[in-house]
Structure 1
Amino acid sequence: MISSINLINKQEHRFRRLALLTVIVIYLLILAGGIVRGTGSGMGCPDWPRCFGRWIPPTEVSQLPPNYQAIYGAKLKGEVEFNAVKTWIEYINRLLGVLSGFLVFATLIASLSYLYKDKVVFWGSLAAFLLIGANGWLGSRVVATELAQYMITLHLLLAIAVVFALLFVLIRSNANHLNAGPISGKTTSVRWLLLVMMILTIGQVVFGTQVRDELDKVVKQLGYAQRESWISNLDLSFYIHRSFSLVILAFHVAIIYQLRKLTEASILPKLTKSLITLVIAEIGTGVIMAYLGVPAIAQPIHLVLAVLIIGLQFVAWLLMNPGLILSVHNRDVSRLVEV
């Protein structure tokens, strides 16, 4: 009996470690996607799933046929130009995508140990697997549509959905070890405030992809030699995006104030403090891009910080909704403890 319990505990511990590792790799994938976008490497591999017709991309143009532009640039009107750095940046992004797919599948297999204890963990893991499969297909459509803006935005939103699914099963499988209380007073308004803040932040990220699209157009017009003039040539969308970051910051300050009234000995105030730190860092990278000529390194960091913020917001919202993260067994235990 004891050995069976130990085996189950090991399986559940393995699942939580695997789910956490998968979340980390997904964030690395988002970072890689940001680097691809920031360096203009989206068409570094003009075909999919291979790269210039090879499973291992070339490192120099001599490895390609003389008419490679005509072969791979038909859709791009022959404007394909081989650049080894951009090709490998895009290829590494694809490799991370494949790795994340395998890890999500491994997480799904590991979640089978919860089938008899908490089926919701299994269904959440299955949702993550289906979502990342759909996002892999969407990545192929991004290439097929020659980096259409709406496809890039959908690709990012689906990646956020994968993060949500994985964070949900990670929190639910570990709910009895997390300290989200004691919480006293009315919490409904705080839950809604968290939800609105999360929706607004996702909207800010989507709006940021539109600003990035406008920036791409400016870069095509001015070229890289006039990097310092890029921001001044952007339209009103950039200034709206920049100003709205202060609204996001104000929401986080309000959340901390509300949570301190509800609870002191909890993970939630610490979580929201981390959120404010990330928001300030996010604003800082935005300032760097606005006043230092949009350095390429700042763009992917800006994106990853935004998705980290959304992930922590989601975790905080889950912790404020114990009905979502506690299984029937754990809810019964909680009632016994309260009695």
Structure 2
Amino acid sequence: MDRITRIYRKLVFLTWFLTLDLIMFGAFVRLTDSGLGCPDWPGCYGSTSPLGSLPEIDQAVRTMPYGPVSLSKAWIEMVHRYVGATLGCLIIAILYMAWRYRRHLGRSPALATATLAAVCLQGAFGAWTVTHRLMPAVVTAHLAIGLILLGLLTALAAREKPHRALAAAARRFRPWVGVGLLLLSLQILLGGWVSTNYAALACMDFPMCQGAWVPPMDFRDGFSLIRALGELPSGQAISQAALTAIHWTHRNFAFVVFLYLVPLAWRLRAEAGVRGPATLLLCLLLAQLLTGLTTIFFQWPLAVAVLHTGGAAAITLVMVLILVRLGTAGGPPVTSAR
């Protein structure tokens, strides 16, 4: 492998890994209520770090001791922004190499270009998350675009990772995997909606919810999109019935996704070129089920809640990896040499 190809691949894998980490750290920001730790953007009270904003942060804490601003929350939020900026710079470097050495690498730069567009959009929604005061629709969209970005980078990395050849007949699984990815995406959006509305503890028992299979719920208010955090479009506080509808929908749709993906992953294990990812998918689905149940039984512990978000991201990247590999079915194996 020549030097340019080696550098490009290392850059792609580093950026892919950092994106996965950033998604999990974004969950940590949200779950620690640090999204408004610095209530302006891109700086913190106009400074590049909380060190330059100590008087403003101290005043905010004195004014509202249990409010969204504190020194620790400011650092959590700003570290998230620093890592996001680093990610953007790495993707620009990938785009440069993808265009500059496109003939040498033997790859179209279209996917790298789409990745840059996604990270720019992600940055915009990151800013709107702050300026719209954690509006649930904006925060959920921020998560969704982050997962799209992870999917694009996974596709970039999958093209570079060696794997065994797949028979042409394996292509028949692509539509099934595509449907599975759509179901998974919907479930992740529902999970994001639970998190951004702080509805994770709306049902404290399992398998029933509030002692009933179908508890009192308000789907219209629960899934109204254009509203502020904790409020309805009318300005009234969101009801417990609305929060229950959000939680109940996410919980029960999880079984639909599980019942679809588990048999699919088991069947994919028969294909040598995707046996490893399919086995990993089964393990991740089981782990995701366990972390989801743990958040209920142990009242949403922070570490487990972050792992639950990370599990959703990991399942997404494995699904994308399988989809990309199935796209090479009938062709030669992908090798590390060029």
TM-score (norm 2): 0.78
Aligned pairs for 1:53-132 (under 5 A) are 53-58=46-51, 63-64=55-56, 82-117=69-104, 120-132=107-119
Distance (Å, rounded) in 1 between the aligned partners of 2:269 and 2:83: 40
Provide closer, same or farther for how the CA distance between residues 99 and 314 of structure 1 changes in structure 2, counting only shifts above 3 A: same
Gaps of 5+ in 1: 1-5, 220-226, 335-339
Partner of 1:143: 130
Distance in 2 between residues matched to 1:271 and 1:217, nearest whole Å: 30
Describe how 1:289-300 pairs up with structure 2 within 5 A: 289-300=295-306
Deviations 1:47-99 (A, max 9, x none): 101112211104995x33886589xx9xxx99965311111111111111011
User: Quick check: 2:38–2:78 contact (8 Å CA) kept in 1?
Assistant: yes
Contact residue 211 and residue 237 of structure 1 kept, 8 A: yes
1:297 partner SS: helix
**Shift, 1:258, TM fit:** 2.8
Evaluate the alpha carbon distance shift between residue 116 and residue 146 of structure 1 in structure 2; reply closer, same or farther with a 3 A threshold. Answer: same
Query: In structure 2, how many angstroms separate the alpha carbons of the residues matched to 1:184 and 1:217?
Result: 44
Q: Which one of 268, 271, 288 corresponds to residue 274 of structure 2?
A: 268
Tell me the distance in 1 between the aligned counterparts of 2:268 and 2:201.
43
1:281 alignment counterpart: 287
Q: Is the 8 A contact 2:125 2:142 kept in 1?
A: yes
CA contact (8 A) 2:147 2:313 kept: yes
Matches within 5 A, 1:162-201: 162-174=149-161, 177-181=162-166, 183=167, 185=169, 187-188=171-172, 190-201=173-184
More displaced 10-residue stretch of structure 1: 304-313 or 204-213: 204-213
CA contact (8 A) 1:142 1:151 kept: yes
Pairwise CA distance, 1:153: 1.4
1:314 maps to amino acid? V
Deviations 1:2-27 (A, max 9, x none): xxxx6xx2211211111010011011
In structure 1, what is the equivalent of residue 22 of structure 2? 29
For 1:279, the aligned partner's letter is L
SS of the residue aligned with 1:246?
helix
Provide, for residues 195-225 of structure 1, a one-character-per-residue CA deviation record: whole Å limited to 9, x for no partner: 1111101100001122223426979xxxxxx
CA distance in 2, matches of 1:186, 1:57: 53
Q: What is the letter of the counterpart of residue 238 of structure 1?
A: H
Across the two proteins, how many residue pairs are aligned to each other? 299
Q: Please give the root-mean-square deviation of Cα atoms over the aligned residues, in Å.
A: 3.2
Report the TM-score when normalising by structure 1: 0.78
Q: Check conservation: 1:249, 1:276, Cα contact below 8 A.
A: no
Counterpart in 2 of 1:15?
Answer: 8
Q: How many Å separate the matches in 2 of 1:13 and 1:65?
A: 45
Task: Tell whether the 8 Å contact from 2:140 to 2:196 is kept in structure 1 after alignment.
Answer: no
AA of the residue aligned to 2:133: E
Equivalent pair of 2:122/2:145 in contact (CA under 8 Å): yes
Taking every aligned residue pair, what percent have the same amino acid on both sides?
Answer: 22
Q: What displacement does 1:154 show?
A: 1.3
In the alignment, which residue of structure 2 is the partner of 1:259?
Answer: 268
Deviations 1:206-249 (A, max 9, x none): 01122223426979xxxxxxx979x8565133233223323323
2:254 counterpart (245, 249, 259): 245
> What residue is the counterpart of 2:187 in the other structure?
204
Distance 1:306 1:180, change over 3 A: farther
Partner of 1:314: 320
Q: Which runs of 5+ in 2 are unaligned?
A: 211-239, 334-338
Task: Answer yes or no: is the 8 Å Cα contact 1:121–1:169 preserved in 2.
Answer: no
Tell me if the contact between 2:34 and 2:68 (Cα under 8 Å) persists in the aligned partners: no
Q: Which residue of 2 aligns with 1:224?
A: none
The letter of the residue matching 1:32 is F
| Structure 1 pair 195–45 and aligned structure 2 pair: CA distance change class (3 A) | same
| Higher Rg | 1
Q: Which amino acid aligns with 2:262?
A: V
Paired residues of 1:59 and 1:84 also in contact (CA < 8 A): no
Q: Aligned partners of 1:284 and 1:105: how far apart in 2? A: 38
Cα distance in 2, alignment partners of residues 60 and 260 from structure 1: 54
Query: Paired residue for 1:153?
Result: 140
Q: 1:140 to 1:258 in 2, by over 3 A?
A: same
1:29/1:186 Cα in 2 relative to 1: closer, same or farther (>3 Å)? closer
Amino acid at match of 1:35: F
Aligned structure 1 segments of 4 or more residues deviating by more than 3 angstroms: 58-61, 65-70, 77-82, 117-121, 184-187, 216-219, 231-234
Counterpart residue identity of residue 56, structure 2: L
